[in-house]
Amino acid sequence: EPEVTQTPSHQVTQMGQEVILRCVPISNHLYFYWYRQILGQKVEFLVSFYNNEISEKSEIFDDQFSVERPDGSNFTLKIRSTKLEDSAMYFCANLLRTQLGGYTFGSGTRLTVV
């Protein structure tokens, strides 16, 4: 199955600092998503992208968060002023228009805010 690449795999940051999480989608993608998973909890939807625009966002995705496509290929999730409760695993996902169908997730970035 095609891969979605996320970097870094693990990031530790001081509370109040800005972090940028990166995702390189696979080719032939349509929709693009960001999710977070607090340790031991469910996978929560943050935001979806279609045609380089936000198509939907959850109540979690407040002004602290932003998404960009800075170079036409990579996608980034920026958290402006991190809080302790932002510590979580962050996943990006692409929708595949192939016979396999469905969504493919990256391996995730584990963010630890100290």
Partner 1 sequence: GIQVEQSPPDLILQEGANSTLRCNFSDSVNNLQWFHQNPWGQLINLFYIPSGTKQNGRLSATTVATERYSLLYISSSQTTDSGVYFCANDMRFGAGTRLTVKP
Q: Catalog residues that contact partner 1 under the rule CB under 8 A.
A: 1, 33, 35, 37, 42-45, 48, 89, 91, 93, 95, 100-105, 107-108, 110
Question: Is the separation of the CB atoms in 102 and 96 below 8 Å?
Answer: yes
Report the nearest approach of partner 1 to the CB of residue 42 (Å).
5
**Complex with partner 1: residue 43 or 114, whichever CB lies closer:** 43
Report the nearest approach of partner 1 to the CB of residue 77 (Å).
16
Distance between CA atoms of residues 37 and 110, nearest Å: 9
User: What phi, psi does 12 have (nearest 5°)?
Assistant: -110, 130
**Complex with partner 1: residue 31 or 72, whichever CB lies closer:** 31
Distance between CA atoms of residues 37 and 54, nearest Å: 20
**Complex with partner 1: residue 22 or 110, whichever CB lies closer:** 110
Report the nearest approach of partner 1 to the CB of residue 95 (Å).
8
Determine the Cα angle at 47 with ends 58 and 45, to 5°: 65
3-state secondary structure of 33: strand
**Complex with partner 1: residue 16 or 61, whichever CB lies closer:** 61
